[in-house]
Amino acid sequence: MKKNIKWFAAVLAALTLGYGAVSCGSDSKEPEWEWPDPDPDPDPEPGVEKPRFIWVDAAANFPDFANSKENILRDLTKAREAGFTDIVVDVRPTTGDVLFRTSVVDQVEWLGAWLPGGYSKVERTATWDYLQAFIDAGKSLDLRIHAAINTFTGGNQTSLGGAGVVFRDEARRAWTTDLNLAGGITNIMSTSQSAKFFNPVLPEVQEYLCSMLKDLAAYDGLAGIFLDRGRFDGFTSDFSNYTRKEFEKYIGRSVASFPADILPAGHTSGIPSPVPVHMKQWLEFRAKVIHDFMEKARAAVKSVNPSVKFGVYVGGWYASYYDVGVNWASPDYDTSSKFSWATKKYMDYGYADLMDQMLIGAYASPARVYGTTEWTMQGFCLLAKERTMGACPMVAGGPDVGNWDADDKVPQEEENRAITASVAACINACDGYFLFDMIHLKKADQWSYVKTGIDGVIKKD
């Protein structure tokens, strides 16, 4: 049984690069495996019930949900019975098309998913509103429904072909990011990379996304919105002429050798030695771009419905998250006092104070539930609270329970125990619990393990 589950998890991990919900955003490697202390949990806070979020990836769950309200109600019922309070439904996969009402971009017609016969197109033939079906089911079950979007993506290329606006519209294709690769600066559309990112620096990209967010915020009964992939594609992005000029304006001088004075060609992870002359200011500039976009996006959402909570999903590995241009800490958190790659001004572009809620990917292995450092689930959550400094009122973290052991090093029973243990380890370290993804619990039938963990921390009547 476990071998089949592992095969599925490995496949979904690969899909995550294209259609999946999470944004890895780092090439950092986690430390060697450590088995958790069997019982280091702090006692739950008495009388406090914190939110428990479960993510519903669009593509992975599409075979069940694309055309069946009954299946949506069935699985949300299971989530409620397990003790989850909040559902995060992915309504803009990396194709950039959508599963909610908007005139800005097309509706999703199909997504790629693994079926018994192999990787296949799953077509959406239903005409009812996908997001509304979740809101309606959530209302009947007393579950809060949040919508998530893959923010700076506009297309996806797989073995099934290209899907998304960048494959249909030349003008939008021109918005895609230019990468600083070993062979020279190359547009992402000319690479084999699945998810086709936009250049976040472009004002027209930001306006396009804000228009979409306004339509999303208009849904009655929607509790919140989470922006996933609200970032640059990676360390090699974006090196277009437009971004070069904007950076030169920012630093008030020309870059003599571009891109070498910023980042060596093809460099994808870590700080190079010697450090290029403009690299630290480049990291600062990119963080400002994303900060300023989040400010605009929040304003767009709140202009339509001030009661909708605005938030983000980010990876918990803050120490290396500069590679995607994001500073998710509080603007009062002095990054430069902790990390040599940060300028003093880098802290000014922390955006935690713009958020009503944040989901932290505490994506350690099942053998590293407890700890105080990054690459432990508990440590990711503790550090997220330390770095956000109370600027965001709700910070929830938790594991990816399907892609956390791709090499099959941990026995299935230990993985099941890690699911249970992750609840207390994460929820007691921050303001809530977050689990990615519903498909994993469904495929491995692991609902009971998370229920046991949740039952252990919620207030008993």
- pLDDT score recorded for residue 6: 42
Kindly report, residue by residue over 344-371, the tens digit of the pLDDT. 999 999 999 999 999 999 999 999 999 9
β-pairing, 184-187 with 178-181? antiparallel
For the full predicted model, state whether its pTM sits above 0.85: yes
What's the pLDDT band for 120 if we cut at 50, 70, 90? very high
What is the mean pLDDT of the segment spanning 437-444? 96
Torsion of CA 447, 314, 49, 427, to 10 degrees: 70
Kindly report, residue by residue over 326-349, the tens digit of the pLDDT. 999 999 999 999 999 999 999 999
What's the pLDDT band for 397 if we cut at 50, 70, 90? very high
Q: How many residues does the chain have?
A: 461
Tokens of 239: 């090196």
Kindly report, residue by residue over 144-155, the tens digit of the pLDDT. 999 999 999 999
What is the mean pLDDT of the segment spanning 100-104? 98
Kindly report, residue by residue over 122-143, the tens digit of the pLDDT. 999 999 999 999 999 999 999 9
- pLDDT score recorded for residue 37: 47
Secondary structure of residue 7 in the 3-state scheme: helix
- pLDDT score recorded for residue 459: 60
Query: What is the residue-averaged pLDDT of the chain?
Result: 91
- pLDDT score recorded for residue 261: 98
Which stretches does DSSP call E strand in 21-136? 52-56, 86-92, 110-115, 118-123
Kindly report, residue by residue over 205-256, the tens digit of the pLDDT. 999 999 999 999 999 999 999 999 999 999 999 999 999 999 999 999 999 9
**First-to-final CA distance of the chain:** 37
- pLDDT score recorded for residue 26: 36
Distance CA 306, CA 100 (A): 19
* CB-based contact 330:391 (threshold 8 Å): yes
- pLDDT score recorded for residue 44: 45
Closest alpha carbon to 261 in 290, 245, 243, 281? 281
Q: How many CB atoms lie within 10 A of CB 248?
A: 15
What is the mean pLDDT of the segment spanning 40-53? 65
The secondary structure element, H or E, covering residue 226 is: strand 224-228
Kindly report, residue by residue over 269-296, the tens digit of the pLDDT. 999 999 999 999 999 999 999 999 999 9
Distance CA 352, CA 358 (A): 8
Distance CA 255, CA 245 (A): 9
Closest alpha carbon to 300 in 235, 390, 217? 217
- pLDDT score recorded for residue 341: 98
- Under 8 Å CB-to-CB from 322, ≥6 apart: which residues? 283, 286, 287, 341, 342
What's the pLDDT band for 49 if we cut at 50, 70, 90? confident
- pLDDT score recorded for residue 420: 98
* Alpha helices per DSSP H over 109-230: 130-141, 170-173, 203-217
Q: How many CB atoms lie within 10 A of CB 97?
A: 22
Distance CA 130, CA 67 (A): 9
* CB-based contact 441:454 (threshold 8 Å): no
Choose the CATH number for 2-19+51-455 among 1.10.357.10, 3.20.20.80, 3.30.1490.190, 3.40.980.10: 3.20.20.80
What's the pLDDT band for 54 if we cut at 50, 70, 90? very high
Q: Does 379 score more than 60 pLDDT?
A: yes
